[in-house]
Amino acid sequence: MRPLVLLWSWLVLPGYGALVGPKEVREFEGGTVSLQCTYREELRKNKKYWCRKTGLFLLRCSDAIYIDDGQEKTEGRVSIQDSPQELTFHVTLTNLSVQDTGKYWCGVKMLGLDETFLVSLTVLPGPCCSPFPTPPFQPLATTSLQSTTNAWQTQLPELRTSSPAPYLNATSTEDNRLTTSSRSKSRTSRSVVRILAPVLVLLTLLLATGLAALGRYMLQCRKKAQQAMQTQRNEKVYLSHLNQK
């Protein structure tokens, strides 16, 4: 079954795969792109060309450059050369711009429909054309910096240390405030603990005393109940003896 499918595809699409190349190429603006398209042995003597694909519904080939067997041709920024010994033809595009982005064809002239291969070229904006250009580099005035440094080093020690930075002063003042507030809070908590400690001890003692008194009271009540029950039993026994007599 598979040989029949291959034979059918060869008969219906006789030129399928006869020309191959890179499907997508990317380069920055101002750069150079070099690519090659490879063709079959039977297309060695055919005329080759490079062109740009235009049109939406009716496709056309614009700015085409044609070459014959073993020739090299340059038009503007495009150079094309055929190498029949290697079965390839090379295309070189120089000084690219963003406008060069598009679809291109490697093509071979044939009777009827040409053999073509579609190549997608994308040109990216380079550093020279960025939306936010960087300012030119300006070297620092090292002489003025050195003179300022020397003048600072020759000042008296008291002049250099007498005026610290206001930002540092504000920071140190805020740190002192935070330290003072934390110390006052710790002192307040200690004083509260000292005041509440005797109260807690007294409440604990009162609770223990109350529990002891409650235990004694319950024990006494239990003893009285037992004595009352014993007395009732004795009375019942005495009455029973009297009745028997």
DSSP string, 42-67: GGTTS-EEEEEEE-SSS-EEEEEEEE
Residue range 15-127 in CATH 2.60.40.10: yes
pLDDT of res. 153:
54
Q: What's the pTM?
A: 0.46
204 by Cβ neighbours in 10 Å (0-12 / 13-18 / 19+) ranks as exposed
Domains of the chain by residue range: 15-127, 176-245
pLDDT of res. 137:
44
**Alpha carbons within 13 A on the beta-carbon side of 231:** 6
* Helix extents (H) in the chain: 2-12, 142-153, 157-161, 166-244
123 bridge partner residues: 27
pLDDT of res. 169:
52
pLDDT of res. 7:
35
pLDDT of res. 150:
57
For the chain, which ranges sit under pLDDT 50? 1-15, 130, 133-145, 152, 156-168
pLDDT of res. 13:
41
19 bridge partner residues: 39
* End-to-end CA separation in angstroms for the chain: 133
What b-and-e string marks burial along 119-147, b requiring 16 or more CB atoms within 10 Å of the CB?
bebebeeeeeeeeeeeeeeeeeeeeeeee
pLDDT of res. 103:
94
Sheet holding 60-67, edge to edge: 24-28, 115-124, 102-108, 48-54, 60-67
